[in-house]
Chains A and B, each alone.
Chain A
Amino acid sequence: MMRIIPIPLVNNTLMRLVNFISASEPRLFQRLEGHHHKWFVIDATNLPFIICLRPDPKSPRLKASRNRDCPNAACRISGSFLTLLGMIDGRYDGDALFFSRDIYIEGDTEAVVCLRNALDDIDGNIADYVAHFFGKPGKKILNIARKVTPHAHPT
């Protein structure tokens, strides 16, 4: 199903989403100071595309790519979709996921640590912002995902 979604359409939506989050949570971008110009790859290993983020507060970028290589990327965070969702939803601890090898990081470790800390400082969480952005369908999908990934660590 996800393979047939047109990437340009996804990217249009992702750009609107990152602008929405940037306007709603400027503190997130402040915590990423020093790493604004870098490309972060978020690789949900069981999805057919990766997500690339450049957290420049003046011009944030968020895009999907079917090509899993991202030559300009400073770092990559990999894990299953539900594991990554559980982390940005504030239910899983990033260090614990690393200890259990449910997530894997490559490249610029400082940038990854900074992103993790910035995402964690949001009142509420990014998953709620994304769900809110997509309205009722978004909230419904997030609720289903939360039932599949309970408030516990995966291992």
Chain B
Amino acid sequence: MPTQHKPELVCPAGTPAALKTAVDSGADAVYCGFKNATNARNFPGLNFSFDELAECVKYAHDRKTKVLLATNTFPPAGKFELWKKAIDDAVDIGVDAIIVADIGVANYARRKHPNLRLHLSVQAGAPSIEAIKYYCEEFNVQRVVLPRILTIPEIKSLKKDIFCEIECFIFGNHGLMAEGRCSLTNYATGLSTNMDGVCSPAHHVSYEEDKDKTLTAKLNGFTIDCFSCTQNPGYPTICKGRYLVQHKDNPYYAFEEPVSLNLADLLPELIKAGVDAFKIEGRQRSKAYIQTVVSSWREAVDCALSGRDVKTDKLLSLTEGHKQTQGAYESKRWR
């Protein structure tokens, strides 16, 4: 009897305490980053020093959990040494794989550490058979994290023609990191999500609440959104802002809404499509989020594998703006 295909549950960790929480809550693998621009969640007070990561890898490995290191930003000219050091340090520490986006970083890792397992970040934006094959052939990439722009039939079709594992996001902040949207924060603040690792840098973010409890969110002086007292705010990112334009009577979400991805209902279909790993977003979130989300998804994945109903009811309060979507996985009508 063939062994049942069992996808890995890949969970986020922004701090050592969060990593241990994810491991203890049932993660098969945890992904994290160093405290610098080499990872796309370069937020204040977040991430790992060399010693912290070394200690955490031992903690995880003792409990049979893998640790993946995100080095998924794009080195600006003249700053490549930081990315080389991150990869060399990751090898010294013994992480199970590194997650790369930039071809120069992938090439360095492949040539200098041929036995190091490489995963292709969602940041690389490789949605086609041709693009994925290129990364596999040139850099021996063994897993690709698919951009959140594909339907399940597209994923299924793609899986048949590539020879690496595929990983899909199933829950969390629905930021596409595609189609130039991350460049908007760069335009407004001078700092880049893709090169500095910081989306909407916190020191450029401000909130103002007036006497009517209307909350205004600003990024470097640009108003991104206003929320009445009955509305739930989202993250202060330009791509999820609401704007007043000439051809509309009311402010509207020009790019996408503040909403979180939740694919609980699609888990059985994703397993059938051959997805090898399910990824949860949220390295910037707390231990409370990690504990609740990881344990819920552990149960959900196990339920889906054994043919039982999947329930993730208690996750709505943790979603951005208290709204969730199945995004492009369900339909191309989602933009």
Contacts and interface: CB of A to CB of B under 8 A. Distances in A.
B174 interface: no
A51 to B, nearest CB: 19
Contact of A108 (B45, B203, B209, B292): B203
Interface in A92-140: 92-96, 98-101, 104-106, 108-118, 120-123
B288 A109 contact: no
Contact of A110 (B44, B215, B289, B321): B44
A98 B215 CA distance: 11
A152 interface: yes
Contact of A93 (B15, B203, B289): B289
Interface residues of A, number: 37
Contact of B288 (A32, A35, A93, A104): A93
A115 B320 CA distance: 21
A94 B321 CA distance: 13
A113 B318 contact: no
B34 interface: no
Interface in B196-240: 201-203, 205-207, 209, 215, 229, 232-235
A155 interface: yes
Contact of B286 (A94, A101, A110, A123): A94
By secondary structure, the B interface counts as mixed
Contacts of B124: none
B102 to A, nearest CB: 26
Given A98-B233, A115-B45, A121-B17, A109 B289 contact: no
A117 B43 contact: yes
Contacts of A155: 317, 322
Contacts of B14: 117
Interface string A82-100: 0000010011111110111
Contacts of B229: 101
A94 B288 CA distance: 9
Contacts of B319: 99
A123 B202 contact: no
Interface string B9-47: 000001111101000000000000000000000011110
Interface of A: 31-32, 34-35, 87, 90-96, 98-101, 104-106, 108-118, 120-123, 152-153, 155
